[in-house]
Every structure is written in C-alpha cells, then in structure tokens.
Amino acid sequence: MTALRDVDLEIPEGEIHGLLGPNGAGKTTLCKILSTVLLPTSGRAEICGYDVVADTAAVRRLIGIVFGGERGLYTRLTARGNLQFWASLYGLSGAQAQLRVTTLLERLGLEQRADVRVETFSRGMKQRLHLARGLIGDPQVLILDEPTTGMDPVAAQEFRHLVRGLRAEGRTVLITTHDMAEAEAICDRVTLIDNGSILATERPSTLGTWITRYARVRADGVPPERVSSVTAALEALSGVAAVRESAPGTLVVDTAADGAAPEVLRLLLELGITDVATTRPDLAEVYLQVIGKRGMRVD
C-alpha cells in the first residue's frame, strides 16, 4: 500500500499550515515522516534544510510534536514533572531546565496547577500541557496532530490563540485537523490531502474559489409562502446561476457574473427581504465538495 504519493509541499518559516483530509488520507503518515518516526521508502523531506533521514539528530532538535487528548502525557506525573522529564530528554538540566519549565508553565497558564497530577486536569489544561511539552526543546517547527479533538469551544479558542502566538515568534506550525473552522481561523495556508495525494494547497479564503469565484448572496427570513415567488424572481435575473433553499426560509443565490450580486441584493430589498448578506463558500463546503464526494467509500 502506498500511503503518500507525489507529495510536493513547501512550508515557509513562520507559517501555520493546515493539513486537512479524511481518516486514512495520509496526514499522519506525513507527520510521522517529518517527526523522524517513519522512514520514507522514497523521496525526501527536510526540516529547516536538514534531511529527516540523513540528519535525524538535527531534525529532532528542531521539531516539537504535540498530540491531542490523553496521548503522550504521563498522567500520574504532575505538569511540572512531565516537563522536567521531557526537559532531560532534550539535554536540559539544572537551572536551565527549571527556568524553561517554569517559563512554559507560566506562559501556558498552568503555574497554579503545576504540582498537581495531570490525571485531574481538564481537557483544555491537558492540551496546554501538551503544547508546553512540545515547546520544551525550543523547536523551530511544531507538528500538531489533531490537537483540539474533543475540546470544548472555549478551550479550543484559547488553544488557537496560543498557536497564533507561536507564529508571532517565528515558529513554523504544521497542524492536522478535521475542524474546518479551526483551519480557517488559524492557518495561513491549508493543504487538502486524500488517498495519499495533495489535492490543493491554498489560503483558506482562496479555496472558496474552487466552488465559485463569484459572490454568493444569502437571504434569511423569507416567508414560507413567498419562497417560490422570490426564487422565481431571482432566477429571472441575469447573472444568477442557481437559487436554492438551504434551510426553511433561507435562500442561497449563486451568481456567475461580475456585478450580479448587487442586482440580487437590490431585488431582495425591493421584495422586502432585508436580512441579506454576501458570502463566499467556506472551507467546510470546499472540503465536502472536494473530498466528501466519495461519501463513505474507503479507497
């Protein structure tokens, strides 16, 4: 079985790059290769110019790996104990290790619970500890494997804020996720991957043009008895490609010509429908369109 095929991807320094794809797409295989825990059978991969096969020792000093959930933590140790343990593996000792551990605990808001066993931590606190652990070696590149899986929205939002902070420090972040909102919120660029091949690498906003490069108008609060007539009126406008009712009382109008959207908006206002907005297809829609076509089929 070939897990990855013809993958050609460059991630500039300081970028947050999202890796999106269904289970079995090859995201984790790529991360394992970059993490030096899997040797590629062919091709090459580099981290900051160091080959992951030939320069393994250098690559390991340059990367940090962050998992989600319980994976990768010693839950019977305290947060401080976990970080001290990993600090020793990165050759830190004495005052240097203490300083790094204390700094990370403070930075990630864990100093109050530093000496409490991790098994008592909430999901969000565990994830902050994961990130602290990933940063213990002061890596240039962080590989985040589905870090926010199972987190509540507030904790996930907080975590994303922390990840953005990494970019500000000039670190490069590769993040695998199933969460389109997350990818859209924090990634500078995303790569869609399926069946071991890259489908696209774009800015999240640019990927929307895969579905349509023209604006889309959304109208809410259309009275049920008027849906048919409003739809017919909109379809009669030139430049309108399609009109569909995405939910009861909500019409989505796809345009297919520059300048069509203002006409649609004007007509809707004339018809007394004032809850209107122009939108672009979001990443989730692109993902479903590109990858979701195969449904439940596993290739």
Sheet containing strand 240-247, strands side by side: 240-247, 250-255, 216-219, 276-279
- Label the pairing between strands 189-194 and 16-20: parallel
Which three-class secondary structure state does DSSP give residue 191? strand
Q: How far is the CB of 29 from other proteins (least distance, A)?
A: 8
- The answer to whether 240 and 253 are in contact (CB under 8 A) is yes
- The answer to whether 169 and 180 are in contact (CB under 8 A) is no
State the residue for tokens 């017919």.
Answer: 232
Tokens representing 257 are 């010509």
**Residue 124 or residue 139: which is nearer to other proteins going by CB?**
139
**Residue 17 or residue 280: which is nearer to other proteins going by CB?**
17
Q: What residue type is assigned to position 158 of the chain?
A: E
Helix (H) or strand (E) holding 59: helix 56-62
When binding is defined by CB under 8 A, the residue of 90, 157, 245, 282 that contacts other proteins is 90
105-164 binders of other proteins (CB under 8 A): 117, 119, 133, 137, 140-141, 145
49-88 binders of other proteins (CB under 8 A): 49-50, 57-58, 60-63, 65, 67, 70-78, 81, 84-88
Q: Which string of x and - marks every residue 25-44 that binds other proteins (by CB under 8 A)?
A: ---xx-xx--xxxxx-----
If binding is defined by CB under 8 A, does position 195 make contact with other proteins?
Answer: no
| Closest C-alpha among 194, 149, 169 to residue 286 | 194
**Residue 131 or residue 141: which is nearer to other proteins going by CB?**
141
When binding is defined by CB under 8 A, the residue of 4, 7, 47, 151 that contacts other proteins is 47
Contact residues: other proteins, CB under 8 A: 10-13, 28-29, 31-32, 35-39, 46-50, 57-58, 60-63, 65, 67, 70-78, 81, 84-91, 93, 117, 119, 133, 137, 140-141, 145, 172
